[in-house]
Amino acid sequence: MQELTVAAVQMYPQMGKPEENLIAMGKFMDKICTEQKTDLIVFPELATTGYELGLRFTDVAERVPGHAVNLLAQRAADYSTHLVFGMVTKEKVESVIYNAAIVIGPDGEMLGEYRKIHLPGEERLAFRAGFRLPVFETTFGQIGVLLGWDLAFPETARSLTLDGADLLCVCANWGHSPAQERDIYVAEWRTYVHARALENATYIVASNRIGEEYSYQFFGESMIVDPRGAIYASIDEEIEGYAVATIDLDVVRKTREELQLIQCRMPSAYRAVVRKY
């Protein structure tokens, strides 16, 4: 058995207040890791800044590693845990910024950065899209990261799976406008998480934020799902908290052998999938 304990944090990031958010993230880590030895903690998308900053994203963007990464890397090292969280990063050119996720190892070393590929309309006004789907090597295996709307595109999770990911981390700001029906978007979120897990016979640790901003309400529903789509742990209320579960990565390999989802693919028949319309 290859067991590990994973946690999905559901928090309410304060818009434009990175220091307050970093303190809150540190408190979550303290609580989770003092209750049980935890191998991986996943925070939401843009956890350090909030979502609707618009042009002000350039004011809070950081090069990596920088202040936020260094601070959280130290906390990860203190508890010997892996950490995945969303933040705004930038290049040397100050105006080029990304909606990104950072992966940190249990020794405090930054394992890498993923830059969100699929940007909805309002995000395109602030961020530049990424173009790579990296797989990160951890002490327990390989993981992939999806940010928000990436989850709606099955090609992302499948690409990460084919490149060796045994576990997918989803950092999200999944919500709706006040005029939209909440239940429709909750069902959408749940369906995408379950589908990506089942399609790829993989574990998914999905962290979605809560709270309100100018145009959006975020409902949480953070969860940990197994390769058959069963929920191991979840937060079913719009509250701050975390879902924790102990999972066995050997189940991924066994499930893929049973279902033959990867082995029975027919790539020569899928040319339309990568055609740009």
- Residue 257 backbone phi and psi in degrees, to 5: -70, -40
Given this model, what pLDDT does residue 95 score?
Answer: 84
Among residues 274, 260, 246, the alpha carbon closest in space to that of 35 is found at 246
Cα–Cα distance for residue pair 64/70, rounded to 1 Å: 9
Question: Binning pLDDT at 50, 70 and 90, where does residue 94 land?
Answer: confident
Cα(272)–Cα(258) distance, integer angstroms: 28
State the average pLDDT over residues 29-37.
97
Mean pLDDT of all residues belonging to the chain: 96
Question: pTM score, two decimals?
Answer: 0.97
Name the domain count of the chain. Answer: 1
Per-residue pLDDT at 1 exceeds 80: no
For the domain that residue 224 is a member of, what is the CATH number? 3.60.110.10
pLDDT in tens, 148-160: 999 999 999 999 9
Q: Which domain holds residue 225?
A: 3-274
Q: What is the pLDDT of residues 181-204, one digit of tens each?
A: 999 999 999 999 999 999 999 999
Residue reference for tokens 């309309």: 121
**Pure H helices in 10-100:** 18-35, 57-60, 67-79
